[in-house]
Structure 1
Amino acid sequence: MGPAEIEALFTRGDGQYLFARWGRPVVPVVFGVDDASLAVFKGAFEAVVALAGHRMAETDPELGANLMVFCFRDWAELLEVKDLGRLVPELPALVARLEAAGANQYRIFRFDAAGTIKAAFVFLRMDAALAAMEAETLALAQAVQVILLWSDRAFDGTSPLARAGERVILRPEIGAVIRAGYDPVMPGVARDPSHALRLAARVG
Structure 2
Amino acid sequence: MTPDEIERLFTRDDGAYAFARWGRPVAPVVFGVDAATLGVVKGAFEAVSSLTGHPLAETDPELGSNCMVFFFRDWAELLDVRDLDRLVPDLAPLVARLKAAGANQYRVFRFDEAGAIRAAFVFLCMDDALAAQPAEELALAQVVQVMLLWAPGAFRDRSPLARAGQAVILRPDIAGVMRAGYDPVLPVQAGDRSHALRIFARLEASA
Q: TM-score, normalised by structure 1?
A: 0.99
Who is 1:124 aligned against?
Answer: 124
Partner of 2:103: 103
CA RMSD of aligned residues (A): 0.5
The match for 1:171 is 171
| Residue aligning to 1:148 | 148
The 3-state SS of whatever aligns with 1:159 is coil
Instruction: Count the aligned residue pairs.
Output: 204
Aligned to 1:191: 191
SS of residue paired to 2:158: coil
- Tell me, in whole angstroms, the C-alpha distance in 1 between the residues paired with 2:116 and 2:96: 29
Q: Give runs of ≥4 in structure 1 deviating > 3 Å.
A: none
By how many angstroms is 1:49 displaced?
1.4
Secondary structure class of the residue paired with 1:96: helix
Aligned to 2:43: 43
Structure 1's unaligned 5+ residue stretches are none
Quick one: which amino acid aligns to residue 52 of structure 1?
T
Structure 1 counterpart SS, 2:97: helix
Shift of 1:146: 0.6
Quick check: 1:54 aligned with 2:54?
yes
Provide the secondary structure at the position in 2 that maps to 1:169: strand
The answer for the alignment partner of 1:70 in structure 2 is 70
**Taking structure 2 as the reference length, what is the TM-score of the superposition?**
0.98
| Aligned-partner residue type, residue 31 of structure 2 | F
Distance 1:37 1:55 in 2: 22
Aligned-partner SS, 2:43: helix
Alpha-carbon distance in 1 for matches of 2:25, 2:142: 17
Mapped partners of 1:27, 1:37: distance in 2: 17
Q: What is the alpha-carbon distance in structure 2 between the residues aligned to residue 147 and residue 7 of structure 1? A: 17
**Long gaps (5+) in structure 2:** none
Amino acid at match of 1:140: L
Aligned residue identity for 2:119: A
Q: Distance in 1 between the 2:114 and 2:184 partners?
A: 16
1:116 & 1:134 partners in 2: Cα distance?
31
Partner of 1:26: 26
Measured after TM superposition, the shift of residue 157 of structure 1 is 1.3
